[in-house]
Amino acid sequence: MNEYVINFLWDNDAFVWVATSEDIPGLVLESGSLDALMERVRFVIPELLELNGNNSCNISLIYNTYRHERISCHG
């Protein structure tokens, strides 16, 4: 089984999640919803792997998420 690490990063300027992976060339997707983005990633990865010459049917995905926010206190 092949394992692939998918990174989800929140873009504060665009207000979207961005999915990338060093393991899967060409993977760059974005969405305002993390759940919707994960679904898109699951759909696209087999196609990208095939285009990159990997026809493995057994795929394991590891998701890393990162979101940094700043808040202001009124007081």
Cα 49 versus chain centre, distance = 15
Question: What is the rounded CA–CA span in Å between residue 69 and residue 42?
Answer: 27
Mean pLDDT over the full length of the chain: 93
State residue 69's pLDDT score: 84
State residue 55's pLDDT score: 76
| This model's pTM is above 0.95 | no
Tens of pLDDT, residue by residue over 16-75, are 999 999 999 999 999 999 999 999 999 999 999 999 888 777 899 999 999 988 888 886
Helix (H, G, I), strand (E, B) or coil at 66: strand
**Residue 10, strand partner residues:** 17
**Residue 28, strand partner residues:** 20
Q: Where do the domains of the chain lie, and which CATH numbers do they carry?
A: 2-66 (3.30.2390.10)
